[in-house]
Structure 1
Amino acid sequence: MTVEQIASRLAEYCRNEKFTEAQAELYADDAVSIEPYSTPDFEKETKGLAALKEKDQKFNAMVESRFGTTVSTPLIAGNSFCFMLTMDVKMKGRDRGKISELCVYTVKDGKIIAEQFFM
């Protein structure tokens, strides 16, 4: 797949809150995920598809309810792309709120090799 195809496919997966399926199809085995900073729940950097899947499961377990996710049109530059993702969620033990982040991805050999989030 081209960078454009991967960007479009990932955006569609995210709009439908199918993050697990997106990882299975679009991510390289050695992909890296980078958060803005470390938290008690998540390290700043997660390496490898297996660890990314665990991170996804952990986040999903923290979500009490989902009320929708929006994703902007991807912006593509060379082997990278980004989009704005906003999730309307109620996290366990917290009030309902929106999480907005700029998501930046790097592609190599038809797979996502890196993702980085900015909030």
Structure 2
Amino acid sequence: MSIYNDLVRTSFPDASKERLDEIYSNSSDALSGILTGLESVGNLMFWATDNDSCNYSEEMAANDLRNIGDMLMNIMPIARALQDNSANAKDQLRTMERRAGNKLPVKDSDEQNSN
């Protein structure tokens, strides 16, 4: 079992529409922030290797890369769980709306989640 299994939620049986909206929004926003942060780490890694005037030893660089690799291995299951939470909350919102006869569209700003 991994942290993914500890974080992911597939059902929200007692959640109100407001709570589901909040879960959907928070999960989508957190996922976006994590993915943007990962992109920034990649940019920093690229440009740090191009700076010859810095006192940044190979040992320090190797240690930093190891630490970043460890972070990435741990954060990706969290990002996947957030993506699944967002999608599952959205699905349950749609089900609730159909049952209530309310056919209002659900906010669809998480298209980046499919990436």
Same fold at TM > 0.5: no
Relative contact order higher in (CA < 8 Å, ≥ 6 apart): 2
TM-score (norm 1): 0.23
TM-score if structure 2 supplies the norm length?
0.24
The structure with the largest alpha-carbon Rg is 2
Give the structure with the higher percent helix.
2
